[in-house]
């Protein structure tokens, strides 16, 4: 990654670290024990669950106990995916009676299948890079499952109806966002300068807290590591 992209990526952290102190909350009633993904090669003597560390638990509490919109990031192997799975499990318990309350999306098919979700474009029946509002609304209206999802997440009024505009970003729904801008900068055409999600005013207005996970769990001799994985954290 070039140094200018690296500088841009670190702005996500600066923008989000407002210095607000986290209020102490009652202990989460959700277990911070998360099932580890099972592989056929797994040693049966290895633990099946992992306990979240303090920085992961802090994010879990912000998301579940405080209902905050959070962005958490961190280098490769800092447990972002595991924490996301913990948050999804806890949210499913919290909203057990309203199964449609949670939508799990990612920007690519591979990332979506890793967390049991779908691409954001499939979720909303929108075409990537489409900026034509009329076309987008037509596409949403003609895809019944997507229209239902827009309605259930209260995004319907702001994007489809437009008669009742809301001042709250994303209609006021809670957003849990994760990723590492250092590992994966936005895809651009030819020599176009990439535009990061955190450069949007909507990012600042929506995400109340940004947390940088610092503890690297992935071991040097781990079978998860490709011969080049260690390079990711050096760049």
Q: Is 105 in the site for ligand ATP (CB under 6 A)?
A: no
| x/- letters, 43..62, toward ligand ATP (CB under 6 A) | -------x-xx--x------
DSSP 178-202: E--TTT-PPP-STTPPP--GGGSHH
**Contact window for ligand ATP (CB under 6 A) among 62-70, 75-83, 187-195, 199-207:** 75-83
Question: First CA to last CA across the chain, in angstroms?
Answer: 7
Q: Is 117 in the site for ligand ATP (CB under 6 A)?
A: no
Q: Is 82 in the site for ligand ATP (CB under 6 A)?
A: yes
> Cα separation of 158 and 165, whole Å?
5
Pick from 58, 17, 101, 69: nearest CA to 205: 69
Report the residue from 1, 76, 111, 147 that binds ligand ATP according to the rule CB under 6 A: 76
The CA R_g of the chain, rounded to the nearest whole Å, is 19
Instruction: Name the one residue in this structure whose structure tokens are 């008669």.
Output: 163
CB of 125 within 8 A of CB of 140? yes
**Which CB atom, from 38 or from 133, has the smaller least distance to ligand ATP?**
38
Q: Is 180 in the site for ligand ATP (CB under 6 A)?
A: yes
Q: How far is the CB of 135 from ligand ATP (least distance, A)?
A: 34
**Contact window for ligand ATP (CB under 6 A) among 3-11, 71-79, 141-149, 156-164:** 71-79
Pick from 152, 155, 177, 153: nearest CA to 164: 155
Q: How far is the CB of 125 from ligand ATP (least distance, A)?
A: 28
Judged by the rule CB under 6 A, the positions of this chain that interact with ligand ATP are 36, 50, 52-53, 56, 74, 76-82, 180, 217-218, 224
């Amino acid at each position: 990654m070039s140094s200018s992209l690296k500088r841009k990526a670190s702005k996500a952290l600066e923008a989000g670290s407002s210095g607000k102190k986290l209020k102490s909350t009652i202990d989460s009633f959700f277990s911070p024990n998360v099932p580890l993904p099972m592989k056929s090669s797994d040693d049966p003597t290895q633990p099946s669950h992992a306990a979240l560390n303090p920085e992961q638990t802090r994010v879990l509490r912000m998301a579940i106990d405080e209902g905050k919109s959070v962005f958490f990031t961190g280098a490769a192997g800092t447990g972002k995916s595991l924490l996301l799975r913990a948050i999804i499990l806890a949210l499913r318990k919290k909203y057990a009676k309203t199964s449609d309350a949670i939508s799990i999306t990612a920007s690519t098919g591979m990332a979506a299948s890793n967390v049991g979700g779908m691409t954001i474009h499939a979720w909303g029946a929108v075409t990537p890079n489409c900026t034509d509002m009329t076309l987008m609304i037509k596409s949403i209206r003609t895809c019944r499952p997507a229209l239902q999802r827009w309605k259930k997440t209260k995004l319907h009024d702001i994007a489809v109806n437009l008669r009742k505009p809301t001042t709250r970003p994303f209609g006021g729904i809670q957003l849990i966002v994760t990723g590492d801008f250092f590992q994966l900068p936005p895809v651009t055409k030819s020599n176009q300068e990439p535009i990061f999600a955190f450069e949007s005013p909507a990012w600042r207005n929506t995400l109340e807290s940004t947390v940088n996970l610092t503890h690297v769990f992935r071991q040097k001799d781990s079978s998860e590591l490709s011969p080049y994985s260690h390079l990711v954290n050096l760049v």
